[in-house]
Chain A
Amino acid sequence: MNKLILGRYFPGESWMHHLDPRSKLLAAAYFILVIFLANNWQTYLLLWVFTIFVLYSSNVSFSVYLRGVRPLLWLILFTVFLQVLFTGGGVIYLEWGPITISEFGLLNGAYIFCRFVMIILISTAVTLTTKPIDLTDGINALLRPLRKLKVPVDELSLMLSISLRFVPNLLDETQKVMDAQRARGTEFGAGSLLQQMKTLVPIFLPLFASSLNRAEDMANVMEVRGYQSGEKRSTFRQLSWGIRDTASLLIMLLLTISMIWLRTETTGY
């Protein structure tokens, strides 16, 4: 649980922390698109400079980011090796049955590695500097246009924020149930796979039952406080778009332009 950095929030006062969640989400999604514009080492270099600049401006130490990449490293390496081993073209260094190590293969592998790592780093930077609830607000605001297509955006975001709010409660409760079952003599994590799965039943059933009770109580509370789904509601949480937000989107635009320029300058298309 402690290993996963993605999705956690580190409180701080950096430039990134004060950005509006909408601009951060937009920029992050846009960056992932921009990455696919890169096709040679000059463009990748530019992307790396940009990524490191973003990480630096988030004021979170680099070791935290490295810890965030580590759990996904095997997946990345696996993909990279598949690319390296099965792509032909260019100078061929080694050929053995279907396995070829070629110039193109190595290059592609390196590029894919860069893409993966950069995407993870940038999305980690967003979640590390944004409170989960602000992320929910940001997602809600960005999805708002979908309301025209009859997508229940407000309901979805309410569900999202209630789920987020109950994560610590459910974790606490899981711990309590586990301790209670331990006190009754259940041993967790011992025995064969089947036995281990069986010991999970006395955890899941009470948790499930209590979640249902919780949901009912919650629904009552919401109803008493006047919540009607589909009715127009105002919002207490206000998002404010500042100069920094416009600036950060302009930086993204600048990045795109320089990417396209570098691409045409160096490869001709």
Chain B
Amino acid sequence: MGKPILEVEELTFKYDKRLEEETLSAVSFTVNKGEWLAIIGDNGSGKSTLAKLLVGLLEPQKGRICIAGTELTDDSKWEVRRHIGLVFQNPDNQFIGTTVQDDVAFGLENVNMSYEEMVPRVNEALRMVEMSAFCEHDPSRLSGGQKQRVAIAGILALKPSIIVLDESLVMLDPKSRRELLSTLNQLKHKESLTIISITHDMNEAAVSDRIMMMKSGRVLKSGPPAQIFIEEQQLEPPFVERLKRELENKGKEVPKAYTTEEEMVKWLCKSCLMV
């Protein structure tokens, strides 16, 4: 983890200027290079709006966004978008190409990359999401989860330094979600990719380095997953945390600190032996 790659300062936004209520009000945070930030919050807390602001699809009323040292403005947005990629939620509307490989290549075509350079990039991106076998398929023959993987490959092929996932893993089955998350984790370590995932899935949030909780357009709190899951009791926690709470209700003594699944298994085995 190094210097901040993304800085957001006092970001304020509302969709309709006549409305009183702000969709985002004075949101500030920074993300370091190679960090995984999970943004959670209820529906309507402004998470997706924030994602659109980050890539310059929407323009804030106040505040500024700095990505890799460049401030995001109307003039600089094309330049900035080379550093940041956004994967949307609905996989159907994200498919531009007529076949899988065409879709992945779309972004590369836009930066006017030569054909020779494009082919290995497309193949590599498809391998990362395990869709190589489907490169000639057309979208109507793919499932929702497969389309989401292609959408992610389309962004990965562009090799951005920051990737924003706006609930992009919701249609994947648990197994492929785990696999894709571990692929992303590898990328994060190998190429110090910065990941911002917007999610309702607490297991996805649990693998992040830091969780930022949003509520009605404000940052409620931010911290490592362990801290957030212990402090926020009304949040639907990951499985281990739920188990701990159940045990606690039954009057058992459980470790106070946040534990991963493996640690919990070890602890359970140990306490069984003691009894």
- List residues of chain A with CB within 8 A of the CB of B101: 236
Asked if B107 contacts A235 (CB within 8 A), the reply is no
Q: How far does the alpha carbon of A265 sit from the alpha carbon of B208 in the complex, in Å?
A: 84
User: B65-118: which residues lie under 8 A (CB-CB) from chain A?
Assistant: 78, 81-82, 85-86, 88, 90, 92-99, 101-102, 105-115, 118
Q: Indicate if A233 sits at the interface (CB-CB under 8 A).
A: yes
Interface size on B, as a range, is 35 or more
For the complex, would chain A's binding face be called helix, strand, loop or mixed by DSSP majority?
Answer: helix
Asked if B114 contacts A234 (CB within 8 A), the reply is yes
Q: How far does the alpha carbon of A235 sit from the alpha carbon of B96 in the complex, in Å?
A: 14
Binds B, one of A43-51, A71-79, A97-105, A159-167: A159-167
Do A223 and B112 form a contact, CB below 8 Å, given A218-B93, A234-B118, A236-B102? no
Q: Indicate if A268 sits at the interface (CB-CB under 8 A).
A: no
Do A221 and B109 form a contact, CB below 8 Å, given A234-B115, A236-B118? no
Asked if B85 contacts A224 (CB within 8 A), the reply is yes
| Residue in chain A with minimal CB distance to B155 | A225
Task: Provide the B241-259 mask, 1 if CB < 8 A to any CB of A, else 0.
Answer: 0000000000000000000
Q: Indicate if B220 sits at the interface (CB-CB under 8 A).
A: no
Q: Indicate if B162 sits at the interface (CB-CB under 8 A).
A: no
Asked if B140 contacts A169 (CB within 8 A), the reply is yes
**Out of B78, B105, B118, which one reaches A226, CB within 8 Å?**
B78
Asked if B108 contacts A236 (CB within 8 A), the reply is yes
- List residues of chain B with CB within 8 A of the CB of A225: 85, 96, 106-107, 110, 154-155, 158
**Out of B85, B97, B113, B158, which one reaches A165, CB within 8 Å?**
B97
Asked if B98 contacts A165 (CB within 8 A), the reply is yes
Asked if A235 contacts B57 (CB within 8 A), the reply is no
- Minimum Cβ distance to chain B for residue A202 (Å): 22
Q: Indicate if B41 sits at the interface (CB-CB under 8 A).
A: no
- List residues of chain A with CB within 8 A of the CB of B113: 234
Q: How far does the alpha carbon of A223 sit from the alpha carbon of B80 in the complex, in Å?
A: 12
Q: Indicate if A217 sits at the interface (CB-CB under 8 A).
A: yes
Asked if A221 contacts B115 (CB within 8 A), the reply is no
- List residues of chain A with CB within 8 A of the CB of B86: 224
**Out of B96, B138, B158, which one reaches A162, CB within 8 Å?**
B96
Do A233 and B93 form a contact, CB below 8 Å, given A169-B140, A220-B52? no
**Out of A133, A162, A221, A232, which one reaches B112, CB within 8 Å?**
A232
Q: Indicate if A227 sits at the interface (CB-CB under 8 A).
A: yes
B interface, CB within 8 angstroms of A: 52, 55, 57, 78, 81-82, 85-86, 88, 90, 92-99, 101-102, 105-115, 118, 122, 138-140, 151, 154-155, 158
Q: List 26 A-B contacts (CB under 8 A).
A: A133-B99, A165-B95, A165-B138, A165-B139, A213-B93, A214-B92, A217-B94, A218-B93, A221-B88, A221-B93, A221-B151, A223-B81, A225-B96, A225-B110, A226-B78, A231-B112, A234-B115, A235-B109, A236-B101, A236-B105, A236-B106, A236-B108, A236-B115, A236-B118, A236-B122, A238-B115
